[in-house]
């Protein structure tokens, strides 16, 4: 296979709105570059990139697909990422491997959270960004509005380089305001176009946009600005140098136009990218460390230096086995190389190296700095690991991944599969770090978490296909807490006489709700006190106020142990009790029959009885959520949140998005992500974090108490 220098590579991360045409764009690029002989489509599931059965079924991208083709002597690596917010993790992987974020927004929906996630991700990686506004042919589209929204959101650096000469069904022309030409595309989807002068009707608009483009190019270079003011224009050569520099510096974000399914605007985009987009040598290298010393390392970006590879994705494919995708950040990699995985210290032999176009893989003999490829059969290398030459100890800063917003409990459909499920879920997490699993020991459930319900659906399907185990998803058990509202005094005598030695212990408790920085009633003399942080959140304030040796000091820990046992198992509904103050103020011992066990039992039972008299109640977990939605969906989303017992705590505009902050009970958030997506045609997204426990409405508490009767076993001696 042909070898390329680093300068002759362009790595484009295709990111942005769900359904904007990224996969269709990649397909048109591969077709125009003669990498494939026929252009596949989304509707019949025949594109190179969306080849997984799940993608074909759902008509959306789910996995990041690295594709490649040659255009104008340049090798393009196209990282086709999904736009649906459930698969945001893949976007971050694409942005690590790419040098330019090509952010798609279709002019029907306007920029969505998918575009915003891409923009923020590009900013984090400090890589160049460009915009492609798609679907100018769609009758429902509004091209100028979409452009205005993007400029409104991302500033005046968003610079129009192309605009459609006509819109709607007859769309076939693009005005290039850099070269001041009208490009008329062939209707046969070949990507071919003819060039002519801009017609009079469009000239004024084109002139104004050309002027802005030139100003934006010259803006940050004083010398160029002076030339521009003197001559009123810049030469083609000057413009080219300036444009390249400004794009790489993230000072100018070119905005282009395309109708990917019609193969209009794709070839002209590639030519523009070939000329003006940064090569891998212009990309800011990600931060890195020496894993042995913890000292920062600057990767020198030397194509002839020691190898450093970032693993940006791993995937196991039924027809290929375990595939590890990498991007070369230093040196060059050839088959037979022994590299060290500095993330875990293991040595890995690189056997064959491949470049992929969907299902098709080709062996290659060398991939140089900036290039992207895959290896198979590595022993212990996962996403976010760094492979490097033995003499170059380095770990590249990990790709950031979003925290989960959706959970489900899983139940195995057949007995005995538990181990296989655990192995499968663990492997799926290594493949996709935005997917998590844990065993909730309080609820005795295995919980899977991810970026949305579609994400979890996909995971459960993969578990079946790859590991042969079937599971069902259920709402996770809500971790309610028991607490008390009132105060109570109680005593308990534990006495047993069976044959030989007997059991005797008596304790007297006072219980009340515990609130930080409050004092116990003055009538109790505090001999010793302890603030115990409970593993289920909350506090036990345990006060020993025994006077006159009613209970020997050696039995006090046993009493406390009994209380903690009862708190852990719950009193009224089987949920842990939190935030209580217990004052042990009296008791009785027997000279022979008293022992630790007896006091533990007495402590347990006395606590239980005291709680029952202290107006027990249930508390529910409340989450703080931040929902980002397009303005037009705001009313629906707010209405829905109030229906979910949500309390809005803030609202802010961000471009044409609204960011809503609210406190919502966790019980109402099950499958919220799917709901939000359907309310916003997939354009809304949210994040969540635990806020606090709160009392719940009586009728809901009654329901939970009723349900708990089936599982909660009352405490007995
Ligand atoms: N009208 C119109 N439709 C288009 C155009 N390009 C793509 N589409 C359609 O838009 C839909 C989504 O296209 P995709 O290529 O899957 O979009 P995507 O951005 O890859 O979508 P995700 O990966 O799921 O985010 C498909 O039905 C395409 O046929 C276009 O230029 N004009
Ligand atoms: Mg796609």
Burial class (CB in 10 A: 0-12, 13-18, 19+), 403: exposed
C-alpha 255 – ligand 1 centre gap (Å)? 18
What are the tokens at 580?
């209580």
DSSP state of 139: T
Residues 6+ apart with CB under 8 A from 6: 279, 280, 281, 303, 368, 369, 370, 371
Mark 64-81 as b/e (b = at least 16 C-beta within 10 Å): bbbbbbebeebbbbbbbb
Rounded to whole angstroms, how far apart are CA atoms 296 and 294? 7
The count of other CB atoms within 10 Å of the CB of residue 44 is: 9
Considering the segment(s) 307-396 as one domain, its CATH architecture is Beta Barrel (2.40)
Ligand 1, CB cutoff 6 Å, lining residues: 18-24, 42, 60-61, 82-84, 104, 134-135, 137-138, 259-262
Pocket test for ligand 1, best of 12, 14, 23, 78 (most atoms within 8 A of CB): 23
pLDDT single digits (tens) 350-378: 999 999 999 999 999 999 999 999 999 89
Residue 316, pLDDT above cutoff 90: no
The pLDDT-based confidence of 715 (bands split at 50, 70, 90) is: confident
Rounded to whole angstroms, how far apart are CA atoms 451 and 686? 9
C-alpha 434 – ligand 2 centre gap (Å)? 19
pLDDT single digits (tens) 399-431: 999 999 999 999 998 888 888 999 999 999 989
Take atom 14 of ligand 1 and give the residue whose Cα is closest: 21
* CATH code 2.40.30.10 region(s) in the chain: 307-396
Yes or no: domain 619-705 corresponds to CATH 3.30.200.20: no
Are 676 and 666 contacting, i.e. CB atoms less than 8 angstroms apart?
no
C-alpha 25 – ligand 2 centre gap (Å)? 9
Question: What pLDDT is attached to residue 62?
Answer: 95
Question: What pLDDT is attached to residue 126?
Answer: 97
Residue 40, pLDDT above cutoff 70: yes
Pocket test for ligand 1, best of 15, 17, 23, 24 (most atoms within 8 A of CB): 24
C-alpha 258 – ligand 1 centre gap (Å)? 11
Q: Mean pLDDT for the chain?
A: 94
Question: What pLDDT is attached to residue 657?
Answer: 87
Residues 6+ apart with CB under 8 A from 201: none
Question: What pLDDT is attached to residue 418?
Answer: 86
Residue 693, pLDDT above cutoff 80: yes
Residues 6+ apart with CB under 8 A from 118: 13, 15, 16, 91, 95, 101, 103, 129
Taking the CA of 42 as reference, the closest ligand is: 1
C-alpha 571 – ligand 1 centre gap (Å)? 56
* CATH code 3.30.70.240 region(s) in the chain: 619-705
C-alpha 90 – ligand 2 centre gap (Å)? 11
Residue 138, pLDDT above cutoff 70: yes
Pocket test for ligand 1, best of 12, 15, 19 (most atoms within 8 A of CB): 19
* CATH code 3.30.70.870 region(s) in the chain: 411-474
> What is the pLDDT averaged over residues 305-332?
90
Question: What pLDDT is attached to residue 479?
Answer: 95
Answering whether pTM is above 0.85, one says yes
- The SS3 assignment for 45 reads coil
Question: What pLDDT is attached to residue 612?
Answer: 96
Are 494 and 505 contacting, i.e. CB atoms less than 8 angstroms apart?
yes
Which atom from ligand 1 is nearest to the alpha carbon of 20? 19
Take atom 24 of ligand 1 and give the residue whose Cα is closest: 60
Q: Give domain 7-282's CATH number out of 3.40.50.1820, 3.40.50.150, 3.40.50.300, 1.10.10.10.
A: 3.40.50.300
Mark 678-714 as b/e (b = at least 16 C-beta within 10 Å): ebbebbbbbebeebebeebeeeebeebbeebeeebee
Residues 6+ apart with CB under 8 A from 232: none
Burial class (CB in 10 A: 0-12, 13-18, 19+), 315: middle
Take atom 9 of ligand 1 and give the residue whose Cα is closest: 21
> What is the pLDDT averaged over residues 302-328?
90
Report the DSSP beta bridge partners of residue 492. 507
Largest CA distance in the chain: 112
DSSP state of 418: H
Are 383 and 93 contacting, i.e. CB atoms less than 8 angstroms apart?
yes
Measuring CA to CA, which residue among 160, 150, 93 is closest to residue 119?
150
Which atom from ligand 1 is nearest to the alpha carbon of 25? 15
Contacts of residues 346-355 at CB distance under 8 Å and 24 or more positions apart, as own/partner, are 346/379, 346/380, 346/381, 347/390, 348/378, 348/379, 348/380, 348/381, 348/387, 350/375, 350/387, 351/375, 351/376, 351/377, 352/376, 355/1, 355/68
Residue 309, pLDDT above cutoff 90: yes
The pLDDT-based confidence of 320 (bands split at 50, 70, 90) is: low
Percent of the residues in the chain that have a pLDDT greater than 90, as a whole number: 85
Burial class (CB in 10 A: 0-12, 13-18, 19+), 492: buried
C-alpha distances (whole Å) from 122 to each of 14, 92, 401 are 11, 8, 14
Burial class (CB in 10 A: 0-12, 13-18, 19+), 285: middle
How would you list the strands of the sheet with 503-513, edge to edge?
Answer: 488-496, 503-513, 580-588, 539-544, 528-533
Which atom from ligand 1 is nearest to the alpha carbon of 262? 31
Residue 709, pLDDT above cutoff 70: yes
> What is the pLDDT averaged over residues 11-17?
97
Are 68 and 78 contacting, i.e. CB atoms less than 8 angstroms apart?
yes
Are 421 and 410 contacting, i.e. CB atoms less than 8 angstroms apart?
yes
Residues 6+ apart with CB under 8 A from 700: 620, 667
C-alpha 18 – ligand 1 centre gap (Å)? 8
Pocket test for ligand 1, best of 12, 17, 20, 21 (most atoms within 8 A of CB): 21
458/230: higher pLDDT: 458
Rounded to whole angstroms, how far apart are CA atoms 633 and 581? 47
pLDDT single digits (tens) 455-494: 999 999 999 988 899 999 999 999 999 999 999 999 999 9
584/655: higher pLDDT: 584
The count of other CB atoms within 10 Å of the CB of residue 138 is: 17
C-alpha 15 – ligand 1 centre gap (Å)? 12
> Which is it for the CA torsion 119, 260, 276, 305, positive or negative?
positive
DSSP state of 577: B
Report the DSSP beta bridge partners of residue 296. 289
Residue 513, pLDDT above cutoff 80: yes
Q: Give domain 411-474's CATH number out of 3.40.50.720, 3.90.1660.10, 3.40.50.300, 3.30.70.870.
A: 3.30.70.870
Pocket test for ligand 1, best of 15, 20, 142 (most atoms within 8 A of CB): 20
- Protein fold of 482-614: Ribosomal Protein S5; domain 2 (3.30.230)
C-alpha distances (whole Å) from 539 to each of 580, 581, 619 are 7, 8, 14
Which atom from ligand 1 is nearest to the alpha carbon of 49? 20
Question: What pLDDT is attached to residue 705?
Answer: 94
Question: In the chain, what are the helix, strand and coil shares in percent, each to the nearest 5?
Answer: 30, 30, 40
* DSSP per residue, 522-566: TTS--SEEEEEE-TTSSEEEEEE---TTSS-GGGHHHHHHHHHHH
Rounded to whole angstroms, how far apart are CA atoms 604 and 716? 9
Take atom 31 of ligand 1 and give the residue whose Cα is closest: 259
C-alpha 24 – ligand 1 centre gap (Å)? 6
The pLDDT-based confidence of 79 (bands split at 50, 70, 90) is: very high
Terminal-to-terminal C-alpha distance of the chain: 78
Give, in degrees to the nearest 5, the angle at Cα 284 between 283 and 287: 140
Which atom from ligand 1 is nearest to the alpha carbon of 82? 23
What are the tokens at 612?
């029952």
* CATH code 3.40.50.300 region(s) in the chain: 7-282
What are the tokens at 569?
């198992």
Secondary element (H or E) of residue 705 = helix 698-708
Rounded to whole angstroms, how far apart are CA atoms 9 and 279? 6
DSSP state of 19: T
């Amino acid at each position: 296979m042909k070898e390329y220098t680093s300068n002759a590579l362009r790595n484009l991360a295709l990111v942005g709105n769900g359904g904007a045409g990224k996969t269709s764009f990649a397909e048109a690029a591969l077709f125009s570059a003669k990498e494939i002989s026929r252009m596949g489509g989304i509707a019949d599931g025949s594109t190179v990139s969306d080849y997984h059965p799940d993608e074909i079924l759902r008509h959306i991208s789910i996995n990041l697909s690295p594709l490649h083709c040659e255009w104008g002597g340049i090798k393009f690596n196209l990282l086709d990422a999904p736009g649906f917010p459930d698969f945001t993790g893949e976007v971050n992987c694409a942005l690590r491997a790419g040098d330019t974020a090509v952010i798609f927004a279709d002019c029907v929906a306007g920029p969505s959270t998918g575009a915003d996630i891409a923009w923020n991700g590009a900013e984090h990686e400090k890589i160049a960004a460009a915009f492609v506004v798609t679907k100018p042919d769609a009758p429902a589209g509004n091209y100028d509005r979409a452009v205005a929204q993007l400029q409104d959101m991302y500033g005046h650096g968003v610079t129009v380089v192309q605009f459609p000469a006509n819109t709607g069904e007859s769309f076939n022309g693009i005005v290039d305001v850099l070269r001041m030409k009208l490009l008329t595309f062939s209707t046969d989807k070949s990507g071919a176009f003819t060039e002519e002068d801009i017609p009079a009707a469009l000239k004024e608009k084109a002139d104004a946009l050309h002027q802005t483009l030139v100003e934006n190019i010259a803006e940050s270079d004083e010398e160029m600005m002076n030339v521009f003011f003197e001559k009123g224009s810049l030469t083609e050569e000057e413009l080219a140098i300036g444009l390249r520099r400004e794009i790489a510096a993230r000072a100018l974000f070119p905005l282009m136009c395309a109708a990917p399914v019609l193969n209009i605007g794709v070839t002209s985009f590639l030519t523009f990218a070939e000329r003006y987009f940064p090569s891998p040598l212009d990309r800011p290298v990600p931060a890195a460390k020496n894993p042995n010393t913890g000292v920062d390392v600057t990767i020198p970006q030397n194509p002839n230096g020691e190898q450093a590879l970032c693993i940006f994705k791993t995937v196991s494919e039924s027809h290929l086995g375990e595939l590890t995708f990498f991007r070369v950040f230093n040196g060059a990699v050839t088959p037979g190389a022994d590299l060290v995985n500095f993330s875990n210290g293991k040595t890995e032999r690189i056997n064959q190296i491949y470049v992929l176009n969907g299902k098709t893989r080709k062996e290659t003999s060398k991939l140089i700095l900036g290039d992207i490829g895959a290896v198979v059969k590595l022993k212990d290398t996962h996403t976010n690991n760094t492979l490097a030459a033995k003499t170059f100890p380095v770990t590249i800063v990990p790709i950031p991944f979003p925290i989960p917003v959706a959970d489900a409990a899983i139940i195995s459909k057949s007995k005995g599969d538990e181990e296989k499920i655990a192995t499968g879920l663990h492997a799926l997490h290594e493949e996709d770090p935005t997917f998590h699993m844990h065993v909730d020991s309080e609820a005795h459930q295995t919980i899977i978490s991810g970026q949305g319900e579609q994400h979890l659906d996909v995971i459960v399907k993969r578990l079946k296909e790859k590991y042969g185990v079937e599971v069902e998803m259920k709402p996770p058990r809500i971790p309610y807490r028991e607490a008390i509202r009132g105060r109570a005094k109680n005593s308990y005598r534990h006495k047993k006489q069976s044959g030989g030695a007997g059991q005797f212990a008596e304790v007297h408790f006072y219980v009340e709700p515990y609130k930080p920085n409050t004092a116990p009633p003055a009538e109790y003399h505090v001999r010793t006190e302890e603030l115990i942080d409970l593993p289920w959140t909350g506090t036990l304030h345990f006060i020993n106020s025994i006077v006159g040796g009613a209970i020997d000091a050696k039995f006090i820990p046993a009493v406390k142990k009994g209380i903690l046992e009862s708190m852990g198992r719950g009193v009224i509904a089987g949920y842990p009790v939190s935030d209580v103050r217990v004052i042990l103020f009296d008791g009785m011992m027997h000279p022979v029959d008293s022992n630790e066990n007896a006091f533990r039992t007495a402590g347990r039972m006395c606590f239980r009885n005291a709680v029952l008299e202290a107006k027990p109640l249930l508390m529910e977990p409340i989450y703080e959520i931040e929902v980002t939605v397009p303005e037009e969906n705001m009313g629906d989303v707010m209405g829905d949140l109030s229906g979910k017992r949500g309390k809005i705590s803030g609202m802010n505009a961000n471009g044409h998005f609204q960011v809503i902050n609210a406190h919502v009970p966790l019980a109402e958030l099950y499958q919220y992500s799917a709901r939000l997506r359907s309310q916003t045609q997939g354009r809304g997204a949210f994040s969540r974090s635990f806020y606090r426990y709160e009392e719940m409405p009586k009728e809901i508490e009654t329901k939970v108490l009723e349900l708990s009767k089936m599982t909660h076993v009352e405490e007995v001696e």
